Amino acid sequence: MANVSRREFLRASGISLAMLGTGGFPSFAAEAKRKVVVIGGGWGGATAAKYIRLTDPSIEVTLLEPNKEFVSCPFSNLVLAGIESLKNLTMNYNGLRKHGVKIRHEAAIAIEPDKKRIRVGKDNLEYDRLIVSPGIDFQWDQIEGLAQAKDTVLHAWKAGPQTLQLAKQLQSLADGGVAVMTVPPVAYRCPPGPYERASMIAWYLQTKKPKSKLIVLDANKDIVSKAGLFKAVFKDYAANLDYRPSQKVEKIDVGAKEVTTDTGDKVKYDVINLIPPQRAGAIAVEADLVGGDKRWCEVDHVTYESVKQKNIHVVGDATIGLPVPKSGNIANAMGKICATAVASLINDKEPPVIAPGNTCYSWVNDKEAIAVVNAYKIDNGKVVQIEQKLTPGKSEAVAQNSLAWRASIWQDVLA
């Protein structure tokens, strides 16, 4: 044995000894283990971590996620209307641990692509391949007066404490009061999300505070997603919902309780829900994974490898260039596809060519929902849409489907 080096043994065997478990070769196993690190335990990252373990259990997977619990953004608009509890949308990460994912509830401080390692606390975490699923961060500086007021002016666009705070503010709104919500310019997380929120708040006001009004200031020139369906819904709420397109908020004055739009309109509020412009999560910007716009990450459409950094893959809302919405369902699909690609690449195999799919439900009152569904294929290495279908209108059946969807996809991400 002494004449045959460990390297030759490994080459001759053609396999990783780690596959054998730690049984007879503990020192070899430790050296041969292939490592994937996933940054971000949201819809994309948690799914990716789980599916790498499902695809090849010999790969060591570490997930970095500062939060101890996963809170679903989908369905959080229902919390604002008082018909869902945030507790029902909150899950732990124990399911991923059962798949052998190592979880560290810490944030990645910096990525060092040249050294293929990440700084976490005092440690350096090495990787063969890295999956970054950083979600979104807000561009506070795009709106005058917002950076100073960001702790009190709620976005509630990352489900969690702000969701509950905004629900409370809406409950405290006097009957006859004015709530204002703003829609950021595309691209932003969850294209139909603001309109679902507008519908749910309007339903709440219509039911509980009929003299009150919600004014929606949309930076875009029309409803961004499911436009026809939402327009029909908004008609039901005519008395309590004032939708104003092409009204980009540029300034907030929390003292005067007033926002100013790019047309010079000044709008007073009693409750404000300001959803700021967005970009990829900070770690992606700092690691230079973003493109010229300094906002979003361009990726290969088959493997989700960054076009800017080798061995680093990006999934979820932080990506750009695919004709897909920034949705939880897409992030989940990207997580699975990226996981199989990463497992293939680590094993020197050709990655499978798989396109994502998107199912997106929006509730519009306490019982009914609408939906849009998109199917895609890969054409010449690029994701192309093959079909989009909308529900004919709102219905209770669609709402029931959405509940089955959430039961299933939450398991797919976390269990």
Q: Strand 357-363's sheet: what is its strand order?
A: 357-363, 369-379, 382-390
Nearer to other proteins, 160 or 357 (CB): 357
Question: Total residues contacting other proteins (rule CB under 8 A)?
Answer: 55
Nearer to other proteins, 145 or 316 (CB): 316
Nearer to other proteins, 136 or 371 (CB): 371
Taking CB under 8 A as the binding criterion, the range among 124-132, 187-195, 291-299, 388-396 that sits at the site for other proteins is 388-396
Nearer to other proteins, 245 or 352 (CB): 352
Q: Is 319 an interacting residue with respect to other proteins (CB under 8 A)?
A: no
Q: Is 303 an interacting residue with respect to other proteins (CB under 8 A)?
A: no
CB of 243 to other proteins, least distance (A): 24
Q: Is 392 an interacting residue with respect to other proteins (CB under 8 A)?
A: yes
Q: Are strands 258-261 and 136-138 parallel, antiparallel or unpaired?
A: unpaired
Taking CB under 8 A as the binding criterion, the range among 8-16, 72-80, 139-147, 201-209 that sits at the site for other proteins is 8-16
Per CB under 8 A, the list member of 101, 337, 346, 364 interacting with other proteins is: 337
Q: Is 23 an interacting residue with respect to other proteins (CB under 8 A)?
A: no
Nearer to other proteins, 71 or 390 (CB): 390
Taking CB under 8 A as the binding criterion, the range among 75-83, 129-137, 299-307, 391-399 that sits at the site for other proteins is 391-399
CB of 341 to other proteins, least distance (A): 10
CB of 359 to other proteins, least distance (A): 6
Q: What is the Cα–Cα distance from 229 to 39, expressed in whole angstroms?
A: 36
Nearer to other proteins, 90 or 411 (CB): 411
Nearer to other proteins, 263 or 388 (CB): 388
Q: Is 382 an interacting residue with respect to other proteins (CB under 8 A)?
A: no
Q: Is 54 an interacting residue with respect to other proteins (CB under 8 A)?
A: yes
Contacts for 379 with CB less than 8 Å, ≥ 6 apart: none
Q: What is the Cα–Cα distance from 15 to 361, expressed in whole angstroms?
A: 45
Nearer to other proteins, 9 or 112 (CB): 9
Per CB under 8 A, the list member of 107, 109, 164, 390 interacting with other proteins is: 390
Nearer to other proteins, 212 or 329 (CB): 329
- Interacting residue ranges for other proteins, rule: CB under 8 A: 1, 3-4, 8-9, 12-15, 19-20, 51, 54-58, 329, 332-333, 336-337, 340, 352, 354-357, 359, 371, 373-377, 386-392, 397-398, 400-401, 403-409, 411-412
